Amino acid sequence: MSFGDGIRVDKVIGTGAMAVLLRATLDATGETVAVKLLLPRHMSNPEVAERFVREGETMASFASPYLPKILSLGTTDSGQPYIVMELLKGADLEDVLRSPRRLSVREAVAYLRDACEGVAVAHDHGVVHRDIKPSNLFLAEEADGTERVKLLDFGIAKLSPGLARGKRTSTQLVLGTSQYMSPEQIQCSANVDVGADIWALGVVLFELMTKRVPFEAPTALATMQAILRERPPRISCAGELPPGLVAVIDRCLEKDTRDRFPSVRELSRALAPYAEREATGPVFAVAMKAARTRSSDAHRRVTPRDGTPVVAREDQRSTLRYGRRS
Ligand SMILES: Nc1ncnc2c1ncn2[C@@H]1O[C@H](COP(=O)(O)OP(=O)(O)O)[C@@H](O)[C@H]1O
Ligand SMILES: [Mg+2]
């Protein structure tokens, strides 16, 4: 298999459900880049391949320091689409969460406000991300040494229903990652709007501060039922959180989208009082260490005595794609 544009692959830096992330060098400039390549097993499904190409086009239309810069889109000689983007230095927030160190409130809030900036760019373009979670948020070290969280993976992003009226959508699809899915996304992925991203940002903030997601059950189905039916746990048990901040999270996790923040910018404004940055060095060192020890047990399964396979907790952090189209 070969890439166009004088791209020389150096090594694999990660594999997701849809794609493999490669580190590569551009012959023309010597620049080191990241290449996201659709896994060959998805090539037989034209809809998945089409969605992947759309992901690249969507991301290429954005220009923001809060999103990775897309350099080019291409197709290998064997027909696999790929996205060439800037290689980010650092670790995603999933890795940051795996480290034993607790984040301070100010760090967690600062990361979330960065995430809000990236999401706001998408929303300004009428795009709902639909899969905001720690592994799709990357704590990147910029060339000037500052750190910034960038939003990745528009793999299941979609035009906001408000802007895409008249387009054919199906109601038979569950798309997203169970623990981060809003009630309305569980009920009907096709019609989710910005409120679903605000819900997921609330889940991420809850998790950054407590190292737990608000809704968690042994199976993805049970988790989704809890999201639909139960109130989020009282976060006060996690310790010394400012009550105003708890109220911000609670508002993100309102079952009815109309009771949530109307926009990510409003959410970010509500977080501002808690976001004063501290020195960044130590956090970054922890994040890097966590990245190196990233475990590969994400797809571990447990089998109870009756032999019925049950998806283990970790699996619920992978993006689900049930159903036909959206
Ligand atoms: N530009 C990049 N630079 C460095 N690492 C990246 C980059 N893009 C993605 N990654 C890493 O690869 C992982 C998978 O990428 P992602 O776009 O989320 O693919 P998938 O659709 O398979 O989840 C991310 O969680 C992140 O850790
Ligand atoms: Mg991802």
Ligand 1 mutation pick, 93, 139, 152, max ligand atoms within 8 A of CB: 152
Identify the residue whose C-alpha is closest to ligand 1 atom 25: 135
Closest ligand 1 atom to the C-alpha of 155?
21
Tell me: the pLDDT tens digits for 67-115? 999 999 999 988 899 999 999 999 999 999 999 988 888 999 999 999 9
**Where do you find CATH 1.10.510.10 in the chain?**
90-293+304-324
Q: What was the pLDDT predicted at 317?
A: 83
Q: How far is the CA of 237 from the centre of ligand 1 (A)?
A: 33
Tell me: the pLDDT tens digits for 188-221? 888 799 999 999 999 999 999 889 999 999 999 9
Question: Mean per-residue pLDDT for 222-239?
Answer: 82
Measure the CA–CA gap between 270 and 293, rounded to whole angstroms.
35
Closest ligand 1 atom to the C-alpha of 87?
3
pLDDT exceeds 50 at position 250: yes
Tell me: the pLDDT tens digits for 267-312? 999 999 998 744 333 333 223 333 333 333 333 333 334 433 344 4
* Domain formed by 7-88, architecture: 2-Layer Sandwich (3.30)
pTM (two decimals): 0.86
Closest ligand 1 atom to the C-alpha of 21?
12
Closest CA to 296 of 51, 56, 22, 15: 15
Measure the CA–CA gap between 106 and 92, rounded to whole angstroms.
18
Identify the residue whose C-alpha is closest to ligand 1 atom 18: 153
**Both tokens assigned to 227:** 């999201």
- Ligand 1 is surrounded, with C-beta below 6 A, by 13-14, 16-19, 21, 34, 36, 68, 85-88, 92, 135-136, 138, 152-153, 155
Q: Are strands 32-38 and 70-75 parallel, antiparallel or unpaired?
A: unpaired
Q: How far is the CA of 153 from the centre of ligand 1 (A)?
A: 7
List the CATH code of the domain at 90-293+304-324: 1.10.510.10
How many angstroms separate the first and last alpha carbons of the chain?
Answer: 31
Average pLDDT, the chain: 83
Residue 36 pairs with which residues in a beta bridge?
Answer: 21, 83
**Where do you find CATH 3.30.200.20 in the chain?**
7-88
Q: Work out the pLDDT band at 236, boundaries 50, 70, 90.
A: low
Q: What was the pLDDT predicted at 4?
A: 74
